[in-house]
Structure formats: C-alpha cells, structure tokens
Structure 1
Amino acid sequence: MIHFARRLAGSLALLLMIVAGGASAQVPGPRPGWRVIETALPYDALLPRLREAVRAENMGLVTEAGPTEAAAGRGVTIPGNRVVGVFRNDYAVRALGLSVAAMIEAPIRFYVTENGTGTGAALSWKTPGAVFAPYADEGGAELEALAAELDAVFEAIAARATAE
C-alpha cells in the first residue's frame, strides 16, 4: 500500500508540474555544460531526424530510452521524452587508453523533449567537453582534445537534426 501511495504521489506531482509549468516544464533550461536547441519541429519529427543525423555524421546510435511509450501503455499521456545514446568504437578505444574511468560516460546522450504545449520539441545534450572534464586529471590534454572532437561531432549532429 505504501509503495502504491508513493507511486500515486509521484504521478500526481509529475502531472502538476506538466499542467502548472506548461512548455518550460518540458524543456531543460540552460545550465553549465549543456546545449539546448528549442525548435518548432514536432517531437515525432525531431526524433527520427536525430537518428538520421547520427548516422549521417558516422556515429552509432547505441541506446534509446524514454517514458512516453511506456506511460501510454499504462494509459498515461505525457509529452514526448527520449534519451538517445550516441558513440563510436574508435572514440571508445581512444578514451579507454586515456582514462578507463571516463568510459562510464559513454555513450554520450542527446535528450529530445516535447514542449508542454505540443507545438515543438527541444534537442539537449551535455557537451562531451563537460562530460569528460572530470577525468582531465587522468586523460590530460589528449582527453580534452578527444572531447573537443566530439563536441564538434555533436554540434554537427544537432545542426543537421534541427535544421528547418
């Protein structure tokens, strides 16, 4: 019973955030180390464009996860929300050679979120530079250079995915 009450309270809190917060509740706000690109593209258009952009930039789509479809299966409607993990083996091998601990961060993730009004979606991500920064003491300048390469790749993916 306690577990049910906690789940119900959590669901009600999420619903209140969605209703009270509107669009801003669904798009991550600016924060250090993040990039956020708000678009007029619908969530259902931005997500496949992201997948195509990942392939076009010769990266691998490693993981995908999101609560939207699972919630719908339970009869709960929430705005589109998907995390897409992106990486490539040659980057993994290079990163491992510089810092074994840094590989906990791979794949690096994009976050696609539908705004609360359903009139567009945002593409967000923690930049690889920010993701790998805590491991700079191990990986040094070479890890920073690898992160800078990945920063450029992620920017290219995002530009391709969000071009209107």
Structure 2
Amino acid sequence: MYRTLVALALILCAGTSHAEMALRDGWAVTPTTKSYDILIDDVKKAAKANKMGVVTQAGPTGAAANRGITIPGNRVIGLFNNLYAVEVLSLSTAAMIEAPIRIYVTENEDETATLSYKLPSTVFAPYIAEAGPELERIAGELDAIFADISAQATQQH
C-alpha cells in the first residue's frame, strides 16, 4: 500500500510543470491577476515610487529559452537604497550580505503572476542581537516600504 501511495504521489508531482508559491513563515506572498511581464514592470515602478533602487535582477527563464527550454517566468529583483545600506553597514558588516532585499516574481500556470518576498525583518533577524535595536528599527521601516511596494505593484490598474 505504501509503495502504491508513493508511486501515485510521484506520478502526480511529475505531471505538474511548476508549483505556485505558497505562504511561508516570514514571507509575504501575493497572487495577482497580472501577467508576469506586467508585474515585473509594476514592481520596478513601485520600487522607484518608494525611493528604492533596482540593484540586481536575475532569473533562469531567458537563459533557458536561449537553450531551447521553456520554463515559467521566474525573476528575482533586488531592491535597496544607499541610505539604508550605509545605516546597516554602520551597525553590522555581516548584515550587509542580505542587501539588496529581493522580490520574487513567478509566473503561474494560468499565466498570472505572484509577487513574493522575505520580510526585511525576517532577513535581518539573525543580526539584531549583534547590531541592536537600530537594525530592528531599520528592518521595520523596510517592512513598511516593501509592503507599500507590494501593494502598489499588485493593485489592478
């Protein structure tokens, strides 16, 4: 019986081309009705409106397409502001490894897209004991900024 259940689970998983993002502790996950490309553009606009720079972008979708492989849209967009970078660095050299904070845009099977990110307070939590309450304050401010970016990027036009 156990082997049959395992085999059935493997067959079901193999038939799924990709899984949609699920809510995780310390993450914000917002499914949208927007397309992947539109959501990426809207994230960039919302970041700029909230005085956050697009520092990095990466994703396997384009490189896979160049190899003849089709995969769902998948983009990580790193956002930060130098004012926060200088503040964080003054508190903890180690914490700067976490900058930029990343937003993750994934394409869903129904051609909509989901915006996900780890909360900045989650990202910086391991460094707060070392850096103190100032880093916790900064992480809280960044939580609010990223919530605003997410709300603006995911709202319908």
Q: Which residue of 2 aligns with 1:98?
A: 91
Cα deviation per residue 1:58-83 (whole Å; 9 max; x = unaligned)?
11100000001111111111110000
Identity %: 55
Tell me how far 1:28 sits from its aligned partner: 2.1
Kept in 2: contact 1:22–1:115 (CA 8 A): no
Normalising by structure 2, we get a TM-score of 0.88
Deviation at 1:140, TM superposition (A): 1.2
Aligned residue pairs: how many? 145
Offset, 1:111: 0.1
The yes-or-no answer on 1:74 pairing with 2:67 is: yes
CA drift at 1:22: 5.4
Query: Whole-Å Cα distance in 1 between the matches of residues 77 and 15 of structure 2?
Result: 27
Which one has the bigger helix percentage? 1
* 1:21 counterpart SS class: coil
CA RMSD of aligned residues (A): 1.4
Superposed structure 1 runs of 4+ greater than 4 Å apart = none
Opposite residue 75 of structure 1, the aligned amino acid is G
Unmatched runs of 5 consecutive residues or more in structure 1? 1-15
Q: Which runs of 5+ in 2 are unaligned?
A: 1-11
Whether 1:29 aligns to 2:22 is yes
Q: TM-score, normalised by structure 1?
A: 0.84
Aligned position for 1:54: 47
8 Å contact kept, 1:41–1:121? yes
Are residues 1:64 and 2:57 paired? yes
